[in-house]
Amino acid sequence: MLTLDHTMMRVEDLEASLDWYQDYLDYEEKSRWEADTFTNVFLGPEDVHEEGALLELTYNHDGRTYTEGDAWGHIAVRVEDVYDAYEELMDAGVEDYRDPDSCGGSYAFVTDPDGHEIEIVERDHGAKWSLDHTMLRVEDADAAIGWYTRKLDYEMFRRSEHSSFALYFLKPRDAADEAMSVELTYNYDGRSYELGDAWGHVAVSTDDLHDTWETLMTRNAEDYRDPESCDDRYAFTKDPDGHEVEIVRE
């Protein structure tokens, strides 16, 4: 089962980003990888579920800046009551972005120091502020749904059809409720999207990297960065819209 392991976002000021997630979402540092040219830090709630996903912040040491693009949408975090959670963030000093009333009372949005959007959603499961889903915009809903179901054995467990767009939520068929899902957003107007570089990838975990990679290649997934090119620690493919999907060993 290829459970979603983490979502990676690039940040321009690592300490500012760490302070934001630790102060406002009560995240703790789970692990860190210091390389010569970059630093990766993995964050999540203290009581994150064993199948829960983490947030990976990537900081490149060369001082580069990033563009958001619009092919990536947001990450979403879970709370029991969206109004209480939003008020808590406002009282703590988070900038007012999209309050619950402006979102029909069922969700809200804030932004982190790099402008990454964070949706606040009400759920009756999962640790507070744990990652609920990562939203990706797609240009062909049928192709995107087919990719995640065919390549990763995911299933659609929720859908929402509207007058101008549709939302499709997918994750492994036997995953826990607390596992993160991908939300595919399809706008009916035929628009196209730019990936930008402020977002990196979503990652799925496996107990056998080479076997999973071989299965993906058999299913005609894109051969983007194979395990050998990544020191046999991980690999990358891409979905039909160019979103990078990392495969990592458990």
Residues sharing a CB contact under 8 Å with residue 162, sequence separation 6 or more, in sequence order: none
Could you write out the three-class secondary structure of 138-195? ECCHHHHHHHHHHHHCEEEEEEEECCCEEEEEEEECCCCCCCCEEEEEEECCCCCCCC
Closest CA to 179 of 119, 227, 134: 134
Catalytic residue annotation? 119
Q: In whole angstroms, what is the distance from residue 190 CA to residue 185 CA?
A: 12
Cα of 167 vs its chain's centroid, Å: 15
State the DSSP H helix or E strand holding residue 134, giving kind and residue range, or none if neither: strand 131-138
Closest CA to 76 of 154, 134, 4, 149: 134
